[in-house]
Amino acid sequence: MISPPLFELALQFLMLSLLSIGGANAIIPEMHLRAVDIEHWMTDADFSQMFALSQAAPGPNVLIVSLIGWKVAGVAGALVSMLAMCGPSSVLTYQVARAWDRFRDAPLRIAIERGLAPVTVGLILASGYVLTRAADHGWPAYAVTGTTLLLAMTKRLHPLWMLAAAAGLGALGLV
């Protein structure tokens, strides 16, 4: 017997998984909408801190899903959420990859790839927007976001250094 919260988690992340064209970052706004505004699993601040944790920890950013599951239903919630998020889509990917190889130079395949690329970029940009709105209260936080953006665009600096510096500034009470 599956308990209601686990079922709810599985359902939500299964739907999110099917929508996540363009990766985990592209569905952050939708995830935020469902977890905070619709399901009331957590506050805005909870969400942005989970995102920060998933960014600062090693591994794919999609791991934020396990944190949401964990918050709602403990370790079982984390596992169910991750399985719902990755399982069915992986099976689908496996099958499509097999077929895809045969249509390597098909014009439709190329049109699909070319057409969806800018959609993906727009979605990731929207994620950055939603996250900035959730995380930044006051000008010091906006300054940190802006500086990180600038450094990431112009310097070949390891992202971890920027996250560490921001953590330091935060710990000193400056953000």
24 scored as a contact of other proteins (CB under 8 A): yes
Tokens of 60: 């794919």
**Does residue 12 belong to the site contacting other proteins (CB under 8 A)?**
no
- Please work out the total of residues on this chain that contact other proteins, with binding judged by CB under 8 A: 106
Write out the DSSP string of 32-53: HIIIIIIS--S-HHHHHHHHHH
User: Nearer Cβ to other proteins, position 5 or 120?
Assistant: 120
Query: Is 81 an interacting residue with respect to other proteins (CB under 8 A)?
Result: no
- Give yes or no for residue 108 binding other proteins (CB under 8 A): yes
**Shortest reach from residue 11's CB to other proteins, in Å:** 14
DSSP H or E stretch at residue 71: helix 64-100
- What is the nearest approach in angstroms of other proteins to the Cβ of residue 76? 12
> Which residues are CB-neighbours of 99 under 8 A, at least 6 positions away?
none
Report the residue from 9, 35, 63, 72 that binds other proteins according to the rule CB under 8 A.
Answer: 63
Residue 77 CA to its chain's centroid (Å): 17
Q: Residue 5 or residue 22: which is nearer to other proteins going by CB?
A: 22
Distance, CA of 163 to CA of 106 (rounded, Å): 42
Query: Is 4 a residue that touches other proteins (CB under 8 A)?
Result: no
Is 3 a residue that touches other proteins (CB under 8 A)?
A: no
Quote the CA–CA distance of 131 and 138 in Å, as a whole number: 14
